[in-house]
């Protein structure tokens, strides 16, 4: 009996040490995509409220206005109608909006989308993987991505409608 417990404890200790070792290795030695202006925007696949998947790489050739937001975020709430109006002006000119909600329940997000009559794709980052990959803090944060998939600007905080218009103009293909 004692021998079985010793073997079990040893196995558990080896597994734990392996996990700690891998975590240290991945945090310090594995290359991470650098999130900065001029870098390639990390690809991701997320699902919208209608169940359609959106892969960032599939938007190559278009400008992408990538906005991270939450329904509880007052600055996000303020700028969403501006983004929606400007999207209507720029979508025929090759500019797409992808609004990434930061892991809220689908019902809350759908109510928000319905209230503001948003027509651009709204996807939910359920496990915060995309938010973490893009190092999001604070909300709202917006990435301007050119037709080649490069980040041209990173905006944190609330934008005015005029700013949104200028930013969308700047990423037209």
Query: How many folded domains does the chain comprise?
Result: 2
User: Alpha-carbon distance 133 to 35, whole Å?
Assistant: 8
Together in a domain, 49 and 18: no
Together in a domain, 24 and 49: no
For the stretch 85-121, pLDDT in tens is: 999 999 999 999 999 999 999 999 999 999 999 999 9
Contact (CB, 8 A) for 139 and 73: yes
- Structural domain that includes position 17: 1-30
Quick check: helix, strand or coil at residue 54?
Answer: strand
Q: Flag whether 145 is in a domain.
A: yes
In this prediction the pTM is 0.81
- Kindly give, in sequence order, each residue whose CB lies less than 8 Å from that of residue 105, ignoring residues fewer than 6 positions away: none
- pLDDT > 90 in the chain, percent: 79
Together in a domain, 22 and 54: no
Together in a domain, 63 and 138: yes
3-state secondary structure 119-171: CCCEEECCCCHHHHHCCCCCCCEEEEECCCCEEEEEEECCCCHHHHHHHHHHC
Can you give the pLDDT at residue 29? Answer: 47
Can you give the pLDDT at residue 136? Answer: 93
Please, which pLDDT band fits residue 34 given cuts at 50, 70 and 90? confident
């Amino acid at each position: 009996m004692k021998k079985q417990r010793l073997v079990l404890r040893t196995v558990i200790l080896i597994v734990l040490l392996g996990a700690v070792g891998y975590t240290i290795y991945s945090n310090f030695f594995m290359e991470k995509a650098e999130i900065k202006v001029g870098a390639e925007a990390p690809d991701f696949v997320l699902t919208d409220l209608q169940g359609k998947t959106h892969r960032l790489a599939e938007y190559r050739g278009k400008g992408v206005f990538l906005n991270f937001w939450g329904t509880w975020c007052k600055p996000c709430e303020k700028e969403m109608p501006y983004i929606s109006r400007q999207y209507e002006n720029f979508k025929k000119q090759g500019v797409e909006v992808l609004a990434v909600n930061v892991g809220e329940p689908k019902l809350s997000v759908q109510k928000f989308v319905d209230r503001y009559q948003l027509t651009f794709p709204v996807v939910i980052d359920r496990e915060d993987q995309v938010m973490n990959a893009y190092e999001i803090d604070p909300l709202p944060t917006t990435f301007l991505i050119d037709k080649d998939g490069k980040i041209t600007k990173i905006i944190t905080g609330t934008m005015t409608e005029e700013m949104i218009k200028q930013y969308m103009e700047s990423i037209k293909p």
